[in-house]
Amino acid sequence: MKVRLRNPRRDIDIQGPKRVRILLEELGINRESVLVIRGDSLVVGDDMLADDDEVEVRPVISGGAT
Amino acid sequence: MRCRRCRAPDIVIELRRHNAAFCKDCFLHHCREQVRKAIDEFDMFTPDQRILVAVSGGKDSLGLWDILLDLGYHADGLYLGLGIGDYSDESAQMAKAFADRRQANLVTVDLPTDYGFDVPSAAKITKRVPCSACGLSKRHLFNQAARQGGYDVVATGHNLDDEAAVLLGNVLRWDADYLGRQQPVLPASEDGFVKKVKPLVRLGERELAAYCVLTGIDYIVEECPNAVGNKHLGYKEALNAVEEQSPGTKNAFYFGFLARAVGLFATDTAAAKDELAPCPSCGSPTTGEVCAFCKLLTRVTVER
């Protein structure tokens, strides 16, 4: 799957399928500090991401670096 | 997991501090309810009053403005152009696009156009961090715009994470004066300060970001380049590390302070409040001969 990260903005490829919670753990990101966006909606920790999904991991801390 | 309110299975967000999950419609309802409760609990304003929302183009201020309009309040926006390169250009576009979409009234003040300086040049001349000139200009110009426009109250987008991080900083330094003033409402004063309120104190910044994504509000995601790496951010990260282990800690820290501790510092705040008089240059209340903003304006104009 394609995962967009911010600060700085970059795209990385990760093998799916994978649960959101596991994706964030593997990226070392605190789930209190981000949203995971797929299309125009949000996915939560137990949601499964498919290998062909495109998601954005968006920091929510003002000035945050994730 | 199902939505706490309607039991639908298609949830869009988990809020661990509430031990709850919500579907889209119930989450948006939750956000509006939290703002409504804060307004009522702290007597922020009434439906007949005019509100000026300090708008930055970020998730918090645009989310706040949207919710106040949805709740039926008379809320206009005030955007302050700070002259911070692409960041200011993009944030101004976001604020304007939102106002157009909601057919809301946006008042704009631009530091470079209206006052002849920008935040980066003020920082260079005063040899202080940019956030210093920025904060000073915002406090002054929001208050001045509210007075001149006849608004009853200025509303800012400070959320629970902001307030908990500021509280942590104030406690670490035992800054009694700031602790006494850290309230969700600062009342109007006879000497010319307009009432200031923070209707988002019951919502975390993750909730505000989610609110904007789910309602299609386009906001500036990249933060101000001057804020990266500052102390405030470090406090937020520290609190989030605690929150991940122990959900609800930020909420308990801030609201416990309001319920049981802020009053203990009120005397320090009262003692620190000197007598105010109108600035001879702009009329704003000040303890000095001229106000801090006019002093800054003179300095950047002379030394440019």
Residue B273: what pLDDT?
63
Residue B270: what pLDDT?
65
Residue B130: what pLDDT?
85
Residue B272: what pLDDT?
60
**Interface touch B221/A33, C-beta < 8 Å:** no
Closest B-chain CA to A8: B222
Q: Which of A7, A41, A48, A62 to mutate to test the interface with B (most CBs of B within 10 A)?
A: A62
**Interface touch A37/B213, C-beta < 8 Å:** yes
* Contact in structure between B69 and B241 (CB atoms under 8 Å): no
**Which residues in chain B touch residue A58, judged by CB atoms under 8 angstroms apart?**
209, 213, 221
Residue B289: what pLDDT?
87
**Cβ count within 10 A of residue B256:** 11
CA dist., res. B143 & res. B191, Å (int): 12
**Which residues in chain A touch residue B241, judged by CB atoms under 8 angstroms apart?**
30
**Which residues in chain B touch residue A34, judged by CB atoms under 8 angstroms apart?**
206
Closest to B172 in 3D by CA, of B231, B103, B113: B231
Residue B269: what pLDDT?
64
Mean pLDDT, rounded, of chain A: 90
- pLDDT (tens digit, 0 to 9) for every residue of chain B, 304 residues total? 899 999 999 999 999 999 999 999 999 999 999 999 999 999 999 999 999 999 999 999 999 999 999 999 999 999 999 989 888 899 999 999 999 999 999 999 999 999 998 888 888 888 888 888 888 899 999 999 999 999 999 999 999 999 999 999 999 999 999 999 999 999 998 888 999 999 999 999 999 999 999 999 999 988 788 877 788 888 998 999 999 899 999 999 999 999 999 999 987 666 666 678 888 988 888 888 898 999 999 988 887 6
Closest to B140 in 3D by CA, of B165, B162, B111: B111
Here the contacts of B182-189 (C-beta below 8 Å, separation 24 or greater) are: B182/B257, B182/B262, B183/B42, B183/B258, B183/B262, B184/B38, B184/B42, B184/B44, B184/B258, B185/B42, B185/B43, B185/B44, B188/B153, B189/B276, B189/B285
Closest A-chain CA to B205: A60
3-state secondary structure B201-228: CCCCHHHHHHHHHHHCCCCCCCCCCCCC
A66 pLDDT exceeds 60? no
Residue B285: what pLDDT?
85
Q: Is the CB of B8 inside 8 Å of chain A's CB atoms? A: no
- Complex ipTM value: 0.92
Closest partner residue to A63 among B14, B227, B241, by Cβ? B227
Task: Give the confidence band of A65 by pLDDT, cuts at 50, 70, 90.
Answer: very low
Residues of B (191-210) whose Cβ lies below 8 Å from A: 205-206, 208-210
Closest partner residue to A61 among B14, B210, B236, by Cβ? B236
Closest A-chain CA to B219: A60
**Which residues in chain B touch residue A57, judged by CB atoms under 8 angstroms apart?**
none
Residue A64: what pLDDT?
38
Q: Is the CB of B259 inside 8 Å of chain A's CB atoms? A: no
Strands A34-38, A54-59: pairing kind: antiparallel
Q: Is the CB of B220 inside 8 Å of chain A's CB atoms? A: no
CA distances from residue B191 to B79, B196, B275, B283, B286 in whole angstroms, order as listed: 25, 14, 9, 10, 9
**Which residues in chain B touch residue A9, judged by CB atoms under 8 angstroms apart?**
222
Residue B266: what pLDDT?
82
Q: What is the pLDDT of residues A4-26, one digit of tens each?
A: 998 888 999 999 899 999 999 99
Q: Which of A30, A32, A46, A48 to mutate to test the interface with B (most CBs of B within 10 A)?
A: A32
Closest B-chain CA to A60: B206
- Residues contacting B286, CB < 8 A, separation 6+: B276, B277, B278, B279, B292
Higher pLDDT, A5 or A64: A5
Closest chain B C-alpha to A33 CA, distance in angstroms:
7
Q: Give the phi and the psi of residue A63 in degrees, each rounded to 5.
A: 80, 10
3 state SS of B22:
strand
**Interface touch B222/A64, C-beta < 8 Å:** no
